[in-house]
Chain A
Amino acid sequence: MTSLDSYPVVPSRYSNPFSTCWTTKLEYVESDQSVSEVLQEWKANNCWGTIVGPHGTGKTALLSALRTQLELEGWKCHWIEVRDSHLEAFIQKVSRHRGSKVVVMLEGFERLPFSKQLWFLNRLRRQQCHVLATLHRNFAIWSWRFKTLANTEVSIDLVKTLFERLICNADRDLVPWADALECWHGCDGNLREFWFELHELYESRRRLSVPLPEQRTTRVRTVAG
């Protein structure tokens, strides 16, 4: 073993505030509709509904916030990441999750082809499952049956709020808000893409500003569980 002085960097997730492990832990920020309003609408629609929005606009974050609230209310939530290749196993799995206070949460439901989405929803309906799913667009003629509960979109205010939450414990000089804003304008409203861009920007600048060995003293890192 050797000391820190002869080695430049100990790789760690704490060196970049835009690592996926941090961006996916951001709490959902309520905008037009609160989580409880979305839930109210879902219940009024016989516990069926979708969250609709383009890539990286917070569908999964909202679904996750709904899950937290439902679990507080005593619901049992089955979170399923939909993959076309696992559809058969998935159907068998879903059929086991029925009950008065049981909800199937379909994350990434938009990844299925449209025809399979419809077929699958009909099957869930027959099995009397309660469902919350994410989609890229609503079901148009089917919308009466599978209601859109929320349309996710990302405002500049929301971007700034989330950016501040991530950068607050890091070196904000490496990526000032003005640079982040410029990145955002190139990401076409896709928050996930935005975090990737910032991760890369922060990382490249951090590498140029790695402190001299004698300045590096932090060896024990701490996070809240």
Chain B
Amino acid sequence: MKPTPIQDVELWIDRGACVFAPNDIITGQYNLAKWLDHDLEAVELSLLWYTSGQGEEDFCVHFYDRFDKEGLPLPTNPIGRFAITLPASPPSYDGQIVKVCWTVRLRGFFQKGRQRVVEAPFTLLSDRNPNLLNSKEVGYDLT
């Protein structure tokens, strides 16, 4: 029998922000209600960068936390919060061949090895171009 599809949970960065300066604090929330209906065994929250594009890829986890069954929010209050201080680098980069992508990632582990992942991508600016933060003339390449 085909397993019941697991719906995605909500993960968001506060106030819809998606551009941050180096060393900013990123805050946000997640609502696990739709996962708690299934046999959720653990949840991992991470903040990481990865490269994407053509060829081999790289990644680095800046922040990681895991909640096993006992540490999961209760169905009556399924909201979790995070507040993480960002590092200074590497800045986001939207190149044509390779990109450097930052994201907050929530991974749910269910029975029988099933997993679901939800991400909230954001941009980390370069500290060499702090004025970009309020500029209306930002190009694709940040370096």
Report which A residues bind B (CB closer than 8 A): 1-4, 6-16, 19-21, 195-196, 199-200, 203-204, 207, 219-225
Contact = CB atoms under 8 A, between A and B. Distances in A.
A10 B20 CA distance: 11
B13 A20 contact: no
Given A9-B140, A13-B99, A207-B96, A220 B118 contact: yes
Given A10-B121, A222-B117, A224-B117, 17 more contacts: A1-B20, A3-B17, A7-B18, A7-B19, A11-B102, A13-B50, A19-B53, A20-B55, A195-B54, A196-B54, A200-B96, A204-B96, A219-B121, A220-B11, A221-B119, A225-B107, A225-B114
Contacts, number: 121
Nearest to A217: B16
B24 A1 contact: yes
A3 B93 CA distance: 18
From DSSP, what is the main secondary structure of chain A's interface residues?
Answer: mixed
B10 interface: yes
B135 A6 contact: yes
Contact of B116 (A16, A196, A224): A224
Given A11-B123, A20-B57, A225 B115 contact: yes
Interface of B: 8, 10-13, 15-21, 24, 26, 50, 52-57, 92-94, 96-97, 99-103, 107-108, 114-123, 133-136, 138-140
Please list the 5 inter-chain residue pairs (A to B) with the smallest Cβ-Cβ separation, ordered nearest first: A225-B115, A13-B52, A1-B17, A11-B99, A11-B94
Given A4-B18, A219-B16, A10 B56 contact: no
Contacts of B24: 1
Contact of B121 (A12, A200, A224): A12
A216 to B, nearest CB: 10
